[in-house]
Amino acid sequence: MSNSVRVRYAPSPTGDPHIGNIRTAMFNWLFARRNGGRFIVRVEDTDQSRITAGSVENILDGLEWLGIDWDEGPRVGGPYGPYFQSERLARYNAAAERLIASGDAYRCYCSPERVAELRKEQARNKQRQGYDGHCRFLSDAERQTQESSGASWVLRFAMPQSGSTSVDDAIRGHVEWRNDLTDDFVLVKSDGFPTYHMAVVIDDHDMDISHVLRAEEWLPSTPRHVQLYRALALPMPQFGHLPMILGSDRAKLSKRHGATSLMEYRDAGYTPEALINFMALLGWSLDGATEVMPADTIRQHFTLERVGKPAAIFDLDKLQWMNGVYIRQLAPDGLADRLLPFLEREYPPELLPIDPDYLLRLVPLVQERLKTLADGPDMLSYFFADSPQYDAQMLVQRNMDADGTLAAIQRAAAVLSDVDPQQFTAEYLEELLRAAGSELGLNGRQFFGALRVAMSGRNATPPLFDMMQAMGPERVLHRLSLAEARLAG
């Protein structure tokens, strides 16, 4: 094994990438980048029955969207390929034969029904569940009988039956397990494909992986992997098990705590910058106080010493807050570019295509209020609608009547129709309309409230005059004429 840092992210293509799974990928990536190492993506596709179409593409697209680049793996190649386990079966078969020859593995002919019944019986008797080693001690004659009958088999590892297995985990420190509490686990399934335990050890060795950084849920599998390394006389990587991610109620992260798939967060309008920042804090800390920091800062300072042992709490409210912070940091043209796909996704054909110059004028009006990019279509919809939909009664403000409101709308239209388009600015509009309101004997709340509804069909909007400037004289006068018609009709 080389002295350079080589880490890997090895997802199973069984669905969209889960946020916890992506957090693991990101920590490996950060560790590699901080240490000048290599980050490898390897697809663990040996469980053929659970593979779902499009999963590999979604996983890789998700990494690219987050800005997590990889040095070896699908789409980029590399010297340690192939990077799909289903294409590496010869390597696993060779290792299996070595283990059989050394007596460290044996063929188990127990039917799935026997194994299932065994587990039920163990549960009834409140015993530790696991394989009982029935086929481990078959005589040569008994094995020959099974082979002759054509019985199907799985390959099991012969765990030591006494002593203990230990590792010095990079995050959790010294961890030790009694060997007699780990059963003889399956290495090769009846379909000829290796299990995770077999494939991961062979692949990590073949790809010269220096550090195995993975979720805490894999900690109980570590003694199995350590014993496999020993049986095959392979050098072991450094293990490090990342803290669990729990919901705000300290239960296992699930849908009720918010979306769990990375793609759901992308489609819900979260920015990759916010997600990188947020996920980094799910187990790692810069100084215990700093929360908002760019990916470059995280990469520069990421160390395993700063990864904690306690479970990390997933707080959706915090993610929304952080996402808003990153949205407000975007330049207007950058925010417009990011909002455009959401507008195109949500708006009906008659509102498309979106005028990019018009959108750029609108972005500053809503930037402070956006929590996610997906909020954009609703916040901006009335800017694009040809005729805002509202009840005429909404135009009539407190202590006003329909006739007075109609007169106010007509006065505003008359004043604004004479404005030179070059002077159609928020400051000039406010000056003109305040004067017009005073002439009508209306206060700002009354006059401007009616104009706000006429422009948008809503009572709460960005600043009225900024909004009118962004709309431009043609749209403003058109909406005033619509409001006049509604009041007159």
Crossing angle for the helix pair 376-384 and 332-346, to the nearest 10 degrees: 80
- The C-alpha atoms of residue 451 and residue 387 are separated, in whole angstroms, by 14
Taking residue 48's Cβ as centre, other Cβ atoms within 10 Å add up to 10
Are 187 and 155 in contact by the 8 Å Cβ rule? The answer is yes
Query: Percent helix, strand and coil across the chain, each rounded to 5?
Result: 55, 10, 35
What are the start-end ranges of the E strands in 185-265? Answer: 186-188, 211-215, 238-242, 245-246
Closest by Cα among 5, 9, 63 to 40 = 9
**Tokens, residue 482:** 């619509």
The pair of three-digit structure tokens given for residue 125, joined into one six-digit string: 């008797």
- CA-based nearest residue to 52, from 10, 83, 21, 15: 15
CB 33 within 8 A of CB 1: no
Q: Going by C-beta distance under 8 Å and a sequence separation of 6 or more, which residues neighbour residue 67?
A: 272, 276, 295
* Catalytic member of 126, 255, 318, 371: 255
Q: Which helix (H) or strand (E) holds 83?
A: none
Beta bridge partners of 106: 156
Could you give the C-alpha distances from 189 to 47, 53, 288, 425, 467, in angstroms and in order? 10, 23, 46, 73, 65
Whether 22 and 16 have beta carbons less than 8 Å apart is answered as no
- Is residue 318 annotated as a catalytic residue, yes or no? no
Q: Are 130 and 118 in contact (CB under 8 A)?
A: no
Residues recognised as catalytic: 255
